Amino acid sequence: MTGTLLYGGAIGLVIIGLYAIVARRHLMRNIFGLAVMESGVNLLLASVGYRPGGHAPILVAGAAPGPLVDPIPQALVLTAIVIGFGVLALALALVVRVRQAYGTLDNRAVARRLRAENGEARS
Amino acid sequence: MSELDFLFAFAAVLIAGVMCCGRDGRAGWAAMAVYGAMLVAVMAAAGKVAGGSIPSALGFSVLGHKIGWRMDGLGWFFSMLTAGAAFFASWYAAGEWGRAQPGMKTQHLLLALNVAAMLLLVNAGDLLSLFIGWELVSWAAFAMMAQKGGPAQPAAMRYMIYALAGAMAVLAGIMIVHAVTGSFAYKDFAAAFGAMSSGMKWLLAGLFAAGFGVKMALMPFHLWQAAAYSETPGASSAFLNAVSARMGLFALILVLVKVMGLSALAGLHVPLIGLSAKGLLMWIAAFTMVIPTFIALMQTDARMLLTWHGIGQGGYMLLGVLVGTGLGTAGGLLHVFNYATYQMALFLAVTAVIHRTGTSDLDRLGGLITRMPWTYVTLLMGIIGLAGLPPMNGFVSKWMIYRSLLDSGSAFLLIFAFVGTLGTILSVYKLIHNIFLGRLRPQHEGVREAPWSMVAPMLALGGIGFVTGWFPGLALNLTDIAQAAMGAPELPHGLGGVATARGSLNMIWVVSILLVAIGFGAIVFYFLGNRRYEVNQLNNYAGGHFLSPQVPYQFSHEFYPGLARVIGPWYRGSIVRAEQGIGTLLDVSGDLWRGIYHLAWTPLYLLAATVIALGWAIMGGM
Amino acid sequence: MTDKPLKSHVRPPQDTMPGGAGQGCPAPDAQTRSIWRRIMDDFADHCRARSLFVLHYCTGCGAIELPPTITSRFDMERVGITPMVTPRQADILLITGYLSLKTLKRVILSYEQMQGPKYVLGFGSCTINGGMYWNSYATMKRLDQYIPTDLFIAGCMPRPEAVQQVLLKLIEDIDAGRANAWQDYYRNYDFYLGNQQRLFGAGWNTPTDVIGEARHYGYYGPGTEGEHTRLLAEGGGSAARLAHAEYPSTALTGRIKS
Amino acid sequence: MRLLADIVLMPLIAFITGLFLVLMYRRVRAKIERRVGPPFFQPVYDIVKLFAKKTQISHGVMHDLSIVLLLGGYITAEIFLPVPGFKGLAEEGDLLTLIYIMMVPMLGLALGVGSCANPNGSIGISRALTAMLAYDVPLAVAIIGATMTYGTTNLVEIVRIQQEGGMATWGIATMPLLAIGGYLAVHGMFGKEPFEIYIAPAEIATGPMVEMSGKYMGALFIMQCFQLYTIGVLYVTLFLGGGENWPLFLIKVAAVVFISVAVTNVYGRYRTDKVVRWMWKWPTGIALLGLALVMAK
Amino acid sequence: MSQSLPAIIYPVAIPLMGAFLLPIGARRMAELAGLFGRIVVLLSFSTSLALAVSIWTAGPAVSAMGGFAAPLGIVFYADRLAMLFLLALNVAVFLFWPRGQGAKGGPCTLMLALLAGGSGLILSGDLFNIFVFYEITAVASYGLAASGRTHAGFAAALRFLILGSVGSSLMLIGIALIYARTGTLNLADLSRIAPHALTGPVGLAAFILLLAGLGVKAELVPLNTWVPEVYGAAPARVSALLAGVVSKLAMVVALRFVVQVFPGDGAHTVLLVAGILGVLAGELAAWRAGSLMETFSYSSIAQLGMVALAFSISGAAGIAAGIALALHHAVVKPAFFMLAARWRGPVGGLAGAVKDSPLAVWLFVILSLSIIGIPPFPGFWAKFLFLKAAFAAPSAGVWIAVFVMLAGTVVEAAYLFRAVLVFFADGERGGSTPRFAFAQLAPALGLGAVLLAAMVFIAPLGASISGMADEASNAAAMAARVLDRGE
């Protein structure tokens, strides 16, 4: 039961994050959505290693206390969080630049200005 | 170094020569000399090629496939045509016409490139080299058509799209053959073709017929040829008209007739109607004969009229070859030779008219016979050939095609052929009447005859047409070699023509009697009446009205009003609308796809994809 | 009406000089003819008499007389006379009634466009002396001053029998080789041109090059060129001159025609 | 040597028979109009008078060459047309050659009229060519049907086949529909009344003949004789069993021309497009039906 | 037999170290950054060259990180396919090193990071390791996209970043799914377990998620909305690099997954559909594109679609065709981008360009002839291999793929030669089109020379490509090399 609860929660977070990116037009909300989504994914990744009744996978004095939790997903989550953090920093820097450049953070307006500058004639 | 290598060497030397010193005046004559040498080399190789084929050193192997070139009878025939056409085109361009042209160096260069590409195509050793040659010919022709700029470019663009679509079909066909037989050689393809399933046979026949049909401007793909060939500058367009469209016929003959074999094609039956693949192709050839001819009837530009006829004549050749009997194939191939001679003469004559008067619009010409008599004579010989009337060679090949159609009992095809000939007679008369006969317009008063450097090649071509018309045996010897290589049954023929059990033709007698009779008519005419007095063209019956130069007294616009009232409504241009339909479909879907990239935020699909994937994942149970 | 044999009971030809009232035309073409030539000419005259194409230029009120003569009532085809549309192919030019000046120009042009032995028949009194329009400003009074006329038919519109009579008379003249009035047009072109220019203005001319034809066929006589044709030469307003200026030559060889 | 005789005699016979046919044509017309009609030698008189014209007007070399081509074309056609007693060159050139040789004079005339620089002539020729296109379609169908049944295009052979079987194997017996369709086309070929649009004296002043005078017109009269003769003999050869002896042959040719002439004089003149529509509807329909029957056998 | 070679790590280590040392050095001597960066790239190129030579001679190499054995430890696996694309990446980075005002510290560092990420991506044999290197490459490319310092650059980079991050998260979910089902992340190990563990809808879902991640960089249809924006806004050298080589790396990784982890035909059909849509979208959008740069962006989508089509055909022939198409596109597209950099604005304005810069126009003609696939040029042989592979295993989907590919070629030829005809048209009097300085044209001419060279040496090139393909196609051998090390 706990498994489905965990996975359901993680996937719920992902879907909320995605909804924020897709439905909202404000770039900052999109970035927040991105962060929510990454946390959801990390939660999913971590919950994969869950074993009911498992202990922390630390060998105390050479003997394991009982059923251990799978350590590998935790390692993966560590890296994923770091990567998420890095990408988020870059995103915020770019948002500041876009705000200076276009004075607006509405995704649709930014996209239209961007295409105009690229010289894409709207034939 | 076999003759074929000499040929390729000549072509390469020519390209290099024109590339480096194409500018100075003598380049034209030098090019002509080289083409002449090529023609002689090809003729010399006639003996060796009659039996087997001449191998060539040119060849390489890529990704495990050996690609090579060799010349067999069919290749020899078309190489001879190419070299001959190039010889006359360069002879014409070397004279004053060439000096009057703006970019003559590019024209010489493109002509040399075209000849080289055609030699590579017609002497292809296997399917892959055939495709390589085919592409080179397409692109060389594209360059030649687009060189004049202005209206020539959209016409060339349209040609390029058709040609490339055709080439892709051919490439697909070749690769399917490779997938089935594992090699590109003709004999493997021929051997395996019999055993293929009828669906596969239909697919291959369809792909090759469509691909090669595009170049030959067969019926559904014929829209590009008229505009493209008319916009090319004079001598090159004469070359293109005479030979370039026939490359499609060469490939069709090579693949459909020689490799697949007409009997196999006849075996394939269209499920509903009792028509076989061969029958279907013959009917396409029949329609290609008639409809372009009647479109030509309605043209008001001389070059467009001639190019539309070029498409029509292509139908005759294909029909002749597809009949399959010795007589039919010989008729088809002879028609290729005859067509090359008179179509080139016609186009050079029209170019001479353009050179002198500046226009080829039939509504603004007239009465030039008094100013350009020799051009008139060439055009006359050309139209007699094009219409297929006795003294000229056009008649012989048409007679043979009709005779073979009669033997094979396909009466309705013969009716189409006959109606095509009638249409040709009407439209060629309109051509010669609107340009040379009728009233000389005041502005053409000072026009002089075209210079001798232009008139000589024209008359030479007309002469060839007349001589091969009088002694068709000369031309039939050439087609025998091609026929033998094609595997078609041998045709017994004398110098005068063909003697079959059910009706024979001896042109020596026909033309001699015609000349004797004309001599007799001349005697009756010149000696029985009083001496004739030539009058001014203003001394003409006009219902008592006094004619003066300012009064336009010429009937040339819309030359067949009665006929136009009857067949006018039939010109709905349904195929043109179909083509435009495809164009707009392409544009609309292009906008649609491009629109997707302009949506504000597109990863809606991501959302859908993820929801589905996640659902699966959970359902599958972690 | 059976095909009655033609007997030569006609009175001898009068020698008439142009300008004289009512005189006929000069002696027939006088060059000496060899035996063979004479036989050929006789045979030709024989056929010419029996095959006449009529261009009835229906100007006045006489036109209605012609259908009965041509069709079943009097049927001139019995003697080989059939109607013809254009002057080029016609032999006989029928002037059926009065000729206004405007029509006269067209008649002269049509006459010049006719070929070789051509004959003009004047119908009714209007062509003889102006008829009822004798004092009108608009009509020409005597036809033979402007184009050489073979025969006149008196009557203010002669009946078909009269027309038939004159046609048979013409056939006899042709058969005898006397109907040579047409050569007079070439021989005395200046006289006729003078009369025409008196009506239509000094430099008036038709596009036909009559002098050239006269020289070509050997009918160039003293009367062909005179002071009236000189006006022609110095560039009067005639269409032919314009033609020569615009189209110096039509022959293949491009020589300027005189 | 026999061939030399053929070459000289056949055109001569053709010309003489042609004269008779022209005479018959004018006599029949006269009789229909309750007139006496021209004397016996009238066609000869006309031709001699035209040749004897003292002044001959020409519009350039092509105008003369066209007349020469015209006469030459028809003389050649006569030589290739087998008649009883003379084989001529029918062996060397067959029916298809003959059809094309008959087009050479038409093209020659067209070129000559064109060089006369007279729009009446050009309009006439454009109508003549349109009419040719119109009547040649049913004619082609008839000819193809005939060659299909006889199996050969060699005219001498065709005549022989029809001779052997007597009346039963005549073209008109074996393929009646084709014969009728062919006859309607042949009637168009004569270029007489219902399809005389290209002469049309009232509108375009005798069309092509507008500038023809003197010996040019004479040559056209000769052409008319040859035309009547050639077409008549062609039809007789194909459908009426050809000539086994001269009198019967002449009667047949005269019959063919007579029916056409009789029909001619009771009809007005069709407009050009009406000619095309009529020719492509009735004669072509009948001939195609006949062809279908022939193909079915 | 495979050899254990610690040297595999150098192509990744050197650029990574360079990337981190460069900003320190660059603070004091700004112009030194460019030079130092180039030296690092040359160094990494030489080591990869040495590595490639040893692999060419002795066969694929494996190296376990930190001595941990395969199933648990992270493994680097390098075969000839990886080496080919590694060398291509090094050459491309060297060729398109930022110049002019962009050559300050930032872009150079990102270039080196891109080089490191790309090398790692191509060499690593572990699933999560691939994800990490993919992220490094992605971040580097976001930075480089913005390196133009133009407004459009920042906006495009941001939108690209958001799209890329969403893709990466999905990839992570995929990895999580795979780990949950199989318990291992090592590609070789997976290739043994996957056939019976990852079959059915779960396997397909995993593949779709992984492909979604990779698809962003490999310009597959639903995910390539960033392509016209970024290539338009970024400096031409960056676009050339991204379109030319980096997208191919992602495609090769996708190939690895298809060959090793998802051999079933479900994955192949997904790739096929993505390919067909890619070609359709690319060609049709390019037909209506306004400027040259936009045309080439869409054209690169189409070409990548063709590579995906090739890889979707299972078996060595498909892979060989894919490699040939990818390699050919990697040579031609960057040259096109360099040309488009100077010829900005709508195509109509470039009339008469042949008079102003004939060399560039003739290069454009040769490149278009090759990309359309006209016989003497290598582009034809790439298409030839694809058709040969396609018709070897004809199925309904493959027929559609072939038709779309051929029709796409016709449309491509149409819009390329529409531009060529404009170049050759006589421009309005006095109007002049932008001229090319030799420096701008140098890389394009270099690539043109490579193309002509490939045209001449087509036979040996063809042989080596098919050898590479055979080696990369049998998953069992790769698994054996990695797992049965016999320590």
What are B97-130's pLDDT values in tens digits? 888 888 788 888 999 999 999 999 998 888 999 9
Residue E365 corresponds to which tokens in the numbers above?
A: 């003609």
pLDDT value of residue B603: 58
- Give C240's contacts in chain B (Cβ within 8 Å): 536, 538
Q: How far is E387 from chain B (nearest CA, A)?
A: 6
pLDDT digits (tens, 9 = 90+) for D246-256: 888 999 999 99
CB contact under 8 A, B598 and A25: no
Q: How far is E23 from chain B (nearest CA, A)?
A: 36
- Give B60's contacts in chain E (Cβ within 8 Å): 459
Residue D163 has pLDDT above 50, yes or no: yes
CB contact under 8 A, E158 and A121: no
pLDDT value of residue C1: 37
> Closest partner residue to E143 among A90, A118, A122, by Cβ?
A90
B276-285, B290-299, B594-603: lowest mean pLDDT where?
Answer: B594-603
User: Which CATH number fits the domain that encloses residue A34?
Assistant: 1.10.287.3510
Pairing of strands E61-64, E3-4: parallel
Give a yes or no: residue A63 inside a domain: no
Of residues A72 and B304, more confidence is placed in B304
- At position A58, the amino acid (one-letter code) is I
Give the highest mean pLDDT range of B548-552, D126-130, E391-395: D126-130
Q: How far is B579 from chain E (nearest CA, A)?
A: 15
> What's the mean pLDDT in B448-456?
90
- Give B377's contacts in chain D (Cβ within 8 Å): none
CB contact under 8 A, A94 and E158: yes
Q: A95 in contact with B at a CB cutoff of 8 Å?
A: no
Q: Percent of chain B, pLDDT > 70?
A: 96
pLDDT value of residue E469: 87
Strand partners, B493: B498
CB contact under 8 A, A115 and B598: yes
pLDDT value of residue A123: 36
**CATH class of the domain whose range is C33-177:** alpha beta
Phi, psi at C95, each rounded to 5°: -105, 100
Closest residue in C to B537 (Cα) is: C250
| Helices vs strands, H then E, count in chain E | 21, 3
> What's the mean pLDDT in E38-60?
87
Q: C134 in contact with D at a CB cutoff of 8 Å?
A: no
Of residues C210 and E69, more confidence is placed in C210
Give a yes or no: residue A59 inside a domain: no
> Closest partner residue to B587 among E212, E288, E375, by Cβ?
E288
pLDDT band at E371 (very low <50, low <70, confident <90, very high): very high
Q: How far is A115 from chain E (nearest CA, A)?
A: 7
> Closest partner residue to E285 among B62, B594, B603, by Cβ?
B594
CB B262 within 8 A of CB B322: yes
Q: D212 in contact with C at a CB cutoff of 8 Å?
A: yes
Average of per-residue pLDDT values in chain B: 87
> What's the mean pLDDT in A28-57?
87
CB contact under 8 A, D26 and C47: no
Among B591, B599, B614, most A C-beta atoms within 10 A, so best to mutate, is: B614
User: Which residue segment(s) compose the domain that A34 sits in?
Assistant: 2-53+69-118
pLDDT digits (tens, 9 = 90+) for B392-441: 999 999 999 999 998 888 889 999 999 999 999 999 999 999 999 988 88
Neighbours of chain C (3+ CB pairs under 8 A): B, D
Average of per-residue pLDDT values in chain E: 85
pLDDT band at D89 (very low <50, low <70, confident <90, very high): confident
Among D33, D54, D64, D224, most C C-beta atoms within 10 A, so best to mutate, is: D54
- Which helix H or strand E contains D102, and what residues bound it? helix D95-115
A4-18, A27-41, B407-421, C232-246: lowest mean pLDDT where?
Answer: C232-246
Query: Which letter does DSSP use for residue B151 in this model?
Result: T
User: Distance between terminal CA atoms of chain A?
Assistant: 56
CB B471 within 8 A of CB B465: no
Report how far apart, in Å, the C-alpha atoms of E207 and of each of B614, E182, E246, E445 are: 12, 14, 21, 40
Q: How far is A42 from chain B (nearest CA, A)?
A: 15
Residue B64 corresponds to which tokens in the numbers above?
A: 């495990």
Q: How far is B282 from chain E (nearest CA, A)?
A: 27
B386-395, D110-119, D191-200, E473-482: lowest mean pLDDT where?
Answer: D191-200
Give a yes or no: residue A77 inside a domain: yes
Strands (E), E98-146: none
> What's the mean pLDDT in B496-501?
81
Residue B616 has pLDDT above 70, yes or no: no
pLDDT digits (tens, 9 = 90+) for E384-442: 999 989 988 878 888 999 999 999 999 999 999 988 888 888 766 666 777 777 777 88
Q: Which residues contact B425 (CB under 8 A, 6 or more apart)?
A: B387, B389, D103, D107, D129, D132
Q: Which residue has the tokens 């053409």?
A: B444
CB contact under 8 A, E165 and A120: no
> What's the mean pLDDT in B244-248?
89
Of residues C252 and B196, more confidence is placed in B196
pLDDT band at E101 (very low <50, low <70, confident <90, very high): low
Task: Give the angle subtended at the CA of C250 by the CAs of C245 and C254, to the nearest 5°.
Answer: 90
Q: Percent of chain B, pLDDT > 90?
A: 35
CB contact under 8 A, B537 and D11: no
pLDDT tens per residue, chain C (258 residues)? Answer: 344 444 433 333 444 444 444 444 444 455 667 888 888 888 888 898 889 998 877 777 888 888 888 888 888 888 888 888 888 889 999 888 888 888 898 899 999 989 888 999 988 888 888 888 888 888 888 888 899 999 998 888 888 888 889 999 999 998 888 888 888 899 899 889 888 888 888 778 888 888 888 888 888 888 888 888 887 776 544 444 544 444 444 433 333 333
B145-154, D9-18, D64-73: lowest mean pLDDT where?
Answer: B145-154
Neighbours of chain D (3+ CB pairs under 8 A): B, C
Q: How far is A60 from chain B (nearest CA, A)?
A: 30
A32-36, B134-138, B292-296, D161-165: lowest mean pLDDT where?
Answer: D161-165
- Which helix H or strand E contains A44, and what residues bound it? helix A27-48
- Give B530's contacts in chain C (Cβ within 8 Å): 116, 217
Q: Which residues contact E410 (CB under 8 A, 6 or more apart)?
A: B161, B164, B165, B168
CB E267 within 8 A of CB E395: no
Cα–chain center distance at C205 = 17
d(CA C229, CA C187): 13
Return the domain boundaries, chain C.
33-177, 180-258
Question: If contacts are CB pairs under 8 Å, which of residues 144-183 in chain C contact chain D?
Answer: none
pLDDT band at B605 (very low <50, low <70, confident <90, very high): low
Chains B and D touch (3+ CB pairs under 8 A): yes
- Give D152's contacts in chain B (Cβ within 8 Å): 501-503
For chain A, how many structural domains are there in total? 1
Residue D211 corresponds to which tokens in the numbers above?
A: 């500038």
ipTM: 0.85
pLDDT value of residue B618: 62
pLDDT value of residue E251: 92
d(CA B248, CA B256): 12
